[in-house]
Amino acid sequence: MSVQFSEQEHGFQAIRFDGRRLQLLDQRRLPAEELWLEVDSADEAARAIADLVVRGAPAIGITAAYAAVLAARQRGADQAGWQADMSRLEQARPTAVNLSWAVNRMRRQVAEAGCLDPEALAELAVTIHREDVAANRRMAALGSEVIEPGSGVLTHCNTGSLATGGIGTALGVIVAGVREGRIARVFADETRPWLQGSRLTAWELARAGVDARILVEGAAGALMASGQVQWVITGADRITARGDVANKIGTYNLAILARHHGLRFMVVAPASTLDPDLESGQDIAIEQRDPAEIWRAAGLESAPHGSGAWNPVFDITPGELVDVIVTEHGVFRPPFRFDQDQAA
């Protein structure tokens, strides 16, 4: 039991599971090296998620689902041990709701079955992965339809095959839009401090045969003023009932800049990223990471060693700055009001 698909149609696979072994393409090493890591337990998966071996909201949810299968095989009949594994797993990163969403789906299966059944859990994990692949395709089609031919787009962070199960969220829309001739220019923010834009998005776009230009984040305002982009398109880690969006730090800046320059702002995310239980984005836990992540840039010390740092890795864009939210269920426009029917 596994998920396999064509790269042209669905993007490439960065998470592999053959029923017993879980392998992750190590995103810390890209683009220099394509190294696969084998993960043998829920704790190893939690470490891989926390250390950004695998990142991106849907991808960490899918990884957690497969990790739940590994844990069930190791725990045998020990449900309490498995539940403790799940608790540690869902705490690996706090902001993306897809992580707890996937763990809770695995928990429900165990509650309904009344026992740990690794085969049934593997089937569910593969279903979660396949659903994401299908959601990606649907969002790519829906999102690209909204974009006027000849448009330029700016994206942030990485939202492609590395961050999802399939062709991606925002990046899926962009690749589809380029292939359909709607998008004429693609720009990717480098996305400090971890450089998901320049290391990962640029690598994925080149692999998909899409010409793109990278910019330092400080150049976004000048790019918008130059008239070369009409849309900013990003993914999300969590979206509240009123459409507030938690996403990679810097997204909020882009939304404000876009509004000032009269550009449109599109957020693309599967229903598994909606969290209608939360009203305001201010209630979303924002992950703070190690200051050491911003002590180095381009291989050089970029700050005095030991400097204090404020290193939130996500921010909140209020729903009123967002023009369109695309999920696999449709294209939503303000005022946003998401409820359980639209969530996965």
> Which residues are part of the catalytic machinery?
237
Question: How are strands ordered across the β-sheet holding 15-17?
Answer: 15-17, 22-25, 36-39
Q: Which of residues 221-250 bind ligand MRU (CB under 6 A)?
A: 234-237, 247-248
How near is the Cβ of 200 to ligand MRU at its closest, in Å?
8
Shortest spacing between CB 190 and ligand MRU, in angstroms = 13
> Is 56 a residue that touches ligand MRU (CB under 6 A)?
yes
Contact call for residue 159 and ligand MRU (CB under 6 A):
yes
Polymer length in residues for the chain: 344
Contact between 58 and ligand MRU (CB under 6 A)? yes
- Give the pair of three-digit tokens for residue 152: 């330029």
Burial group, residue 226, by CB count within 10 angstroms (0-12, 13-18, 19+): exposed
Residue 327 engages ligand MRU in binding (rule: CB under 6 A): no
Indicate whether 14 belongs to the interface with ligand MRU (CB under 6 A): no
Sites for ligand MRU among residues 94-123 (CB under 6 A): 96
- Write out 54-107 in H/E/C secondary structure: CCCHHHHHHHHHHHHHHHHHHHCCCHHHHHHHHHHHHCCCCCCHHHHHHHHHHH
- Judged by CB under 6 A, does residue 313 bind ligand MRU? yes
212 lies in the binding site for ligand MRU (CB under 6 A): no
Residue 196 is a binding residue for ligand MRU (CB under 6 A)? yes
- For the residues of 120-164, what is the DSSP string, one character each? HHHHHHHHHHHHHHHHHHHHHHHHHHTSPTTEEEEE-S--STTTS
Q: Which of residues 168-187 bind ligand MRU (CB under 6 A)?
A: 169
Pairing of strands 245-248, 264-268: unpaired
The least distance separating ligand MRU from the CB of residue 52, rounded to whole angstroms, comes to 7
Inter-residue contact 164 to 98 (CB < 8 Å):
no
Nearest approach, Cβ of 164 to ligand MRU (angstroms)? 5
> Taking the CB of residue 41, how many other CB atoms lie within 10 A of it?
16
CB closer to ligand MRU, 57 vs 202: 57
Q: How far is the CB of 163 from ligand MRU (least distance, A)?
A: 4
Binding site for ligand MRU (CB under 6 A): 55-58, 96, 157, 159, 163-164, 169, 196, 234-237, 247-248, 313
